[in-house]
């Protein structure tokens, strides 16, 4: 079955294969983000609009990847196309602060419950600045993160991201496994790793290292091991631990800030000390935010705590942010997208139940995923039990039928945008029902998680 689907995929995507061969002549592995590299080769895209995307072979797909969650606005939203086009005529970057920057700062502070903000360009930059600020504020060096969570590819947090089972160590006190060569040992030693959703294990690690820990950083809903909601009391328990030990609690909401109107902090009623925002808040333009309590943010003092960037707060991205938050990702629009997301997730659940497929759907609002396993996925160790081979079969079968079901990889999730329609959801479920029946009949072998 999988071999037949791969043959079909190759026939449908000959232009992508050619683009890949050409790209590899100048670019290692042909992509500019390693997470875009998949077997047998990446899909290369020509254009996109609304909920649709067209590849280099002119194949049309209904897109539920939405740029790894950056496009809750959908592709080329008309409001953004108009406003950004007008701003480009007035200039793209000035080397000075743009006159409208304070407007966006006010919008973000009100929407996400922040006192102060600093703008950057990528999520990587913002999490890097968050860690630096926590260390400067507390005069401590160690940071605690969670196994399986990804916070950008800078050294301080590129530890314990996707460790294999043989390297991961104890489930309650995971090893500090670097996710890349080139990270100094002293950096790795300062990044502690804990299991997500296991508050007592976190408490034990904190109590052993409390005087050295500057803070805890986490995705309130991890979205790099699928879609993993926090257990009741977990987030509030982390906040209490930080208060008890003088640490800074950092929510990495690069993804979740666009999945919920007030972010995950608003959904779960836990306000961290610092928050990192990105992806969807500027409708597909590069913008990230470090925000939080005034007392901590005011520690960013020129000449003492560095925060810089030539492209920070450029008028194009600021304009995109203002328009996205006021005209695109409105409460009504996001409620509608969340309603469609609920329909999609419940449809998946019903089809899985009807076909007897060994899989589990985890979701909230407009985002979710299907884990090919028979139990709950509450942390990275649970994710390691998922059938990765079956996920890849599902993914390529959905692609061949014109649906990009979610972001590329079994550790990702779908995004329903404000431009998706009921018809898009119906078609997605129609295709999944066909695929699920075939997967149930011919189950491909388990693949190693290292294939990620």
How far apart, in whole angstroms, are the C-alpha atoms of residue 75 and residue 408? 17
Q: Of residues 55, 63, 252, 382, which has the active-site annotation?
A: 252
Rounded to an integer, what is the distance from CA 193 to the centroid of its chain? 19
**Please, are residues 265 and 219 in contact by the beta-carbon 8 Å criterion?**
no
Catalytic entry in 150, 261, 394, 395: 150
d(CA 187, CA 382): 27
> Is-contact 285 313, C-beta < 8 A?
no
On the 0-12 / 13-18 / 19+ scale of CB atoms within 10 A, 37 is middle
User: Measured between alpha carbons, how far is 402 from 197 in angstroms, rounded to an integer?
Assistant: 36
Q: Residue 20 catalytic?
A: no
Tokens of 403: 């649906």
**Could you identify the residue written with the tokens 């930059």?**
125
Question: Does the N-terminal peptide bond of residue 40 adopt cis geometry, omega within 30 degrees of 0?
Answer: yes
CA nearest 5: which of 395, 423, 380? 395
User: Do 251 and 65 touch, CB atoms closer than 8 A?
Assistant: no
Task: Give the neighbor-by-neighbor strand order of the sheet with 414-415.
Answer: 360-364, 367-371, 414-415
Known catalytic residue at 252: yes
The position carrying tokens 């610092």 is 274
Torsion angles phi and psi, residue 191, rounded to 5 = -115, 105
Burial label for 202, CB within 10 Å (0-12, 13-18, 19+), is buried
Q: Which of 279, 348, 382, 411 is catalytic?
A: 279
Q: Give the gyration radius of the chain's Cα atoms.
A: 22
Is 279 among the catalytic positions?
A: yes
Q: Give yes or no for a contact between 407 and 415, defined as CB atoms under 8 angstroms apart.
A: yes
Strand order in the sheet with 60-63: 45-49, 52-55, 60-63, 403-404
Give the other-Cβ count within 10 Å of 207's Cβ.
11
User: What are phi and psi for residue 299, nearest 5 degrees?
Assistant: -75, -10
Separation in Å, CA 356 to CA 56, 348, 426, 436: 36, 12, 21, 9
Active site residues: 150, 252, 279
């Amino acid at each position: 079955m999988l071999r037949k689907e791969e043959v079909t995929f190759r026939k449908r995507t000959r232009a992508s294969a050619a683009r890949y061969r050409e790209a590899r002549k100048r670019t290692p592995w042909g992509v500019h983000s390693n997470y875009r590299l998949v077997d047998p080769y990446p899909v290369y895209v020509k254009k996109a609009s609304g909920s649709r995307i067209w590849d280099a072979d002119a194949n049309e797909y209904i897109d539920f990847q939405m740029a790894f969650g950056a496009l809750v606005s959908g592709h080329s939203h008309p409001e953004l196309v108009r406003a950004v086009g007008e701003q480009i005529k007035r200039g793209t970057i000035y080397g000075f602060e743009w006159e409208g920057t304070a407007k966006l700062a006010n919008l973000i502070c009100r929407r996400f419950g922040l006192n102060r903000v600093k703008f950057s360009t990528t999520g990587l930059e913002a999490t890097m600045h968050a860690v630096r600020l926590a260390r400067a504020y507390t005069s401590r060096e160690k940071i605690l993160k969670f196994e399986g969570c990804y916070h950008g590819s800078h050294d301080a947090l590129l530890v314990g991201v996707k460790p294999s089972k043989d390297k991961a160590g104890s489930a309650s006190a995971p090893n500090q496994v670097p996710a890349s060569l080139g990270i100094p040992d002293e950096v790795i030693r300062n990044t502690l790793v804990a299991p997500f959703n296991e508050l007592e294990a976190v408490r034990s690690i904190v109590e052993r290292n409390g005087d050295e820990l500057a803070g805890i950083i986490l995705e309130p809903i991890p979205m790099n091991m699928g879609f993993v909601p926090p257990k009741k009391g977990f987030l509030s328990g982390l906040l209490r631990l930080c208060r008890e030990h003088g640490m800074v609690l950092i929510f990495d909401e690069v993804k979740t800030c666009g999945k919920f109107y007030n972010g995950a902090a608003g959904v779960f009623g836990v306000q961290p000390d610092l928050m990192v925002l990105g992806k969807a808040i500027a409708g597909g333009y590069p913008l990230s935010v470090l925000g939080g309590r005034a007392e901590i943010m005011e520690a960013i003092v020129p000449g003492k705590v560095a925060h810089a960037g030539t492209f920070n707060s450029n008028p194009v991205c600021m304009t995109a942010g203002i328009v996205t938050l006021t005209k695109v990702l409105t409460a009504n629009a996001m409620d509608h997208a969340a309603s469609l997301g609920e329909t999609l997730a419940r449809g998946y659940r019903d089809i899985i139940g009807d076909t007897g497929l060994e899989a589990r759907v985890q979701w909230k609002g407009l985002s979710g995923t299907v884990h090919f396993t028979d139990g709950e996925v509450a942390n990275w160790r649970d994710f390691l039990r998922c059938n990765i081979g079956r996920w890849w079969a599902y993914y390529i079968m959905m692609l061949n039928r014109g649906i990009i079901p979610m972001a590329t990889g079994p550790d990702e999730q779908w995004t329903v945008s404000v431009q998706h329609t009921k018809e898009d959801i119906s078609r997605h479920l129609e295709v999944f029902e066909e695929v699920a029946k075939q997967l149930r009949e011919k189950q491909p072998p388990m693949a190693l998680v290292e294939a990620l």
